Copies of this chain bind each other. A is one copy, B any other.
């Protein structure tokens, strides 16, 4: 069964945190790329509505590499309870799919 391509999302507090986390994940070939973007988060926390600047990271990887990505994200993430969720990418060009797979194979 061919492994699925997936996008995995997390957030951190600052751009610097996002860069450090993204580089670590890509250097370990757990994702082929990371897209960082500035966001504002509004969320429920212990009965209150909080509002904070954050940075969102989108990783592209495969369902096969996800368990290792998840474990490493949980080890490296600055938050106690980080957002870690993802979508399937059933639509993908042949070339881009190959590029992702080539860049997450363990060396």
Query: Is A91's beta carbon under 8 Å from chain B?
Result: yes
This chain's copy number in the assembly: 3
- Chain B residues within an 8 Å CB radius of A38: 37-38
For residue A1, give the distance in angstroms from its CB to the closest CB of chain B.
15
Contact assessment for A56 and B42 in the assembled complex, using a CB-CB cutoff below 8 Å? no
Given contacts A37-B37, A56-B37, A81-B96, contact A44 B103 (CB under 8 A): yes
Which residues of A are interface residues toward B (Cβ below 8 A)? 5-8, 11, 15, 18-19, 22-23, 26-27, 29, 32-44, 49, 51, 54, 56, 60, 63, 66, 70, 74, 81-93, 95-97, 99, 103
7 contacts between A and B (CB under 8 A): A11-B35, A36-B42, A43-B103, A60-B83, A82-B96, A85-B92, A86-B91
